Amino acid sequence: MKAYEKHVAVKDVSFEVPAGSIFGLLGPNGAGKTSLIRIITTITRADEGVVYLDGEKLNSRHPEEIGYMPEERGLYRKMKVGEHLTYLARLKGLSAKDARAKISGWMEKFGIEDWWDKKVEELSKGMQQKIQFIATVVHEPKLLILDEPFSGLDPVNTNLIKDEIHSLRGKGMSIIFSTHRMEQVEEICEHIVLINKGENVLEGKVSAVKDRFKQNLFELEYEGELPEGLLEQATVIHQKPGRLTVQVAETAESNTLLRAMLDRGVFVKRFQEILPTLNEIFIRQVN
């Protein structure tokens, strides 16, 4: 729990981030995401409750094992890129030599080797974002927390960072990914937690969450006429010639419906379950 004066920002949140997975931390504005992240990154302390990292209670050594890219981020404008990255890496406990070697590696990977002596203020916002990403991951943290990591990036660089996130996950890094962009969550995350007003609303694997919120909607495309009485057990949501959206009481009934259609000689071109998007779930749960 975390309370500020008369306002409780994080009330009752609990979730587990599986090691080596990408975890989505979702919630509307003011849900308490940032307050929660600040607790995890040891910036602030929880008034009540504990955070475990790798089975160990959060302590003062842990900041070096965490990489945090805040939503509101910046760099020292007058510093040179190489110096700046070395400074941030050393604050995370790397030796000067290690820091330089690792930073060079990353800069090479991003094709920006020649930026070492450039001043930060000479870079565009998107370019600074790349530097920021390197700063967050250069010390090879166990836990990576990314708050809106793609804001301000063009599609090419978004993909570049996305690929890096996946490859870091492959190396065993656990990644907490916080964003409002649900399509990104759907694309990237395996697990999510949704918090609202400082409390857990739902948590689990993305596929399981979707499953839980499905409304047994099916969309089908066919040719020819639909026989009378076929749709007695289903509710028609939407109907157009050759296309139909129906809701059934239980998932199993979809099979009955399909079989009936086939039996009655309807030519079925497509029969598909419609799962809710995370966006829909989010909106439904938050309101």
Q: Tell me if 87 contacts other proteins by CB under 8 A.
A: yes
Cα–Cα dist 43/150, whole Å: 23
Question: Angle formed by the axes of helices 96-109 and 81-91, to 10°?
Answer: 130
Applying CB under 8 A, among 25, 66, 220, 248 the residue interacting with other proteins is 66
The answer to the question of residue 114 lying near other proteins (CB under 8 A) is: no
Residue with tokens 């609303």: 201
CA–CA distance, 121 with 196 (Å, rounded to integer): 37
**Which of 38, 81, 87, 82 shows the shortest CA–CA distance to 63?**
38
CB-count burial class (<10 Å; 0-12, 13-18, 19+) for 209: buried
Encoded tokens for 67 = 């990489």
Q: Which CB atom, from 4 or from 267, has the smaller least distance to other proteins?
A: 4
Residue from 11, 90, 162, 210 touching other proteins (CB under 8 A): that is: 90
Residue 19 contacts other proteins per CB under 8 A = no
Site for other proteins in 128-187 (CB under 8 A): 132, 135
Asked whether position 73 contacts other proteins by CB under 8 A, the answer is yes
Residue number with CB closer to other proteins (1 or 230): 1
Q: Which stretch binds other proteins (CB under 8 A): 86-94, 213-221, 242-250, 277-285?
A: 86-94
| Spatial contact of 221 and 213, defined as CB atoms under 8 Å apart | no
- The footprint of other proteins (CB under 8 A) covers 4-5, 38, 41-45, 47, 63-64, 66, 68-70, 72-79, 87-88, 90-92, 132, 135
